[in-house]
Amino acid sequence: KPDSPAWLCLNCHIPVQNQRRTVVLGLEGGNVLKPITRPNPQFDPRMRLEGITCASCHVRMDPVTGTSYVIGPNGSRLAPHPVRQDRAYLHGICNRCHNPQGEGITPNLVCWFTTRSEWEAAGEVLKARYGEVRDCVSCHMPARPGRLAQGYPNLPIRNLNHHYWIGGGVPKWYSDYDSLLARGFRPGLTIQVLAVAPVPHDSLAVRLRLANDRAGHWIPTADPERFYLIQVRLEQADGTVLQELRYRIGQTWRWNPARKVADNRLRAGEVRIYQARLPLEGATARTRLVVQAYHVRLKTETAAYLMQHTPAIPDPLWPDLLQQIRQLPRFYPMATCIFRQEFDPATGALLKDYPLSELIQISRQEQGKPLEKREY
């Protein structure tokens, strides 16, 4: 966007200097939109393609000697490069990019999250849940036995923190759904259907329990465009929807100028009861009740805007980038289905409970689907 300082965004998205074609030396007249730059002789186009790479968290420069070193949780006397042990530093480095703070940089660019303050406020909840206060690494990088590097069979087996970062479970590419379960995905939002109570010849009363009993922060956290979409509907066997109610959990923003106007996210440990009443008009013996939920990263309205208005920015490292944006539904997962159960509205009996494996298949089937046919 014309009023977005791209160089500043890159500090988190490709933070290692070798990934940057130019180096920012200062600002012209203090204007954040007019950086003063020089070519970067250390620019490595292959490293740029890695995005958030090992060096983003594990390599730093000594301000005295000007030489770089690797930060590790255990240290090493055998490594071919300098290694410093600093476990506390690594446990806190997530906040560098996942908790940006400050005032709006431009009227339409607001980049601050409250994940850290949400976690700090959840201390007692985490102690009650786990017997201790867990941090980002404890939950998002759990330890598993393995060797520190592939191709070195003589290295000892240790408990190593995995580097999968599943997060909300909406991957960057559709192919990543294939490994989502193996990488440990579980939805942060827990949904339980407490009651399905038919009122004869009138309506169907549905009561849901919605709980944040896994995350140590609000859900969804960070990115203000993320939200949960809860759907309670009556539909026929052919998929025709007779009645539907929707409940949205997330932030609501206006973007010109950027400002938050609502926020109903679930705090750590919070339980919320949602009640819906659906008219039974038109229902038949083949009607079923469907309770379904999506974790939405990008709603279709925003996707349509991106597809239409993203400018052509030449990038030799990603020559087909604009083409992929124009065909966003084909390439980019926008939401993941995290819950679906079906009930007999006449009796309230559970007909089907979809396991995560089937929910992932539902999510994969969104690939290529036109925006107007999506539910979010």
pLDDT digits (tens, 9 = 90+) for 76-92: 887 889 999 999 999 99
Question: Can you tell me the mean pLDDT for 45-69?
Answer: 93
Residue 38's DSSP bridge partners are: 23
CA dihedral 247, 250, 255, 257 (to 10 degrees): 120
Name which of 225, 240, 227 is nearest 284 in CA terms.
240
| C-alpha 177: how far from chain center | 14
- Listed range (155-164, 222-231, 260-269) with the worst mean pLDDT: 155-164
Give the Cα separation of 32 and 12 in Å (integer). 16
CB 200 within 8 A of CB 350: no
SS3 content of the chain, % helix, strand, coil (to 5): 25, 30, 45
Answer whether 214's CB lies under 8 Å from 270's CB.
no
Task: Report domain extents, the chain.
Answer: 6-98, 115-166, 190-373
pLDDT of residue 262: 96
Mean pLDDT (the chain) is 93
4 or 206, higher pLDDT: 206
**pLDDT for residue 105:** 81
Greater confidence, 300 or 108? Answer: 300
Calculate the alpha carbon distances from 324 to 22, 49, 306, 357 in Å. Answer: 25, 16, 11, 27
In this predicted structure, the answer to whether residue 106 has a pLDDT above a threshold of 90 is no
- What is the value of pTM for the model shown? 0.94
Among 129-138, 280-289, 311-320, the range scoring the smallest mean pLDDT is 311-320
Residue 53 pLDDT > 70, yes or no? yes
Task: Say whether pLDDT at 313 is over 90.
Answer: no
pLDDT of residue 1: 67
User: Which one, of 324, 114, 81, lies nearest residue 217 by Cα?
Assistant: 114
pLDDT tens per residue across span 346-374: 999 999 999 999 999 999 999 999 999 99
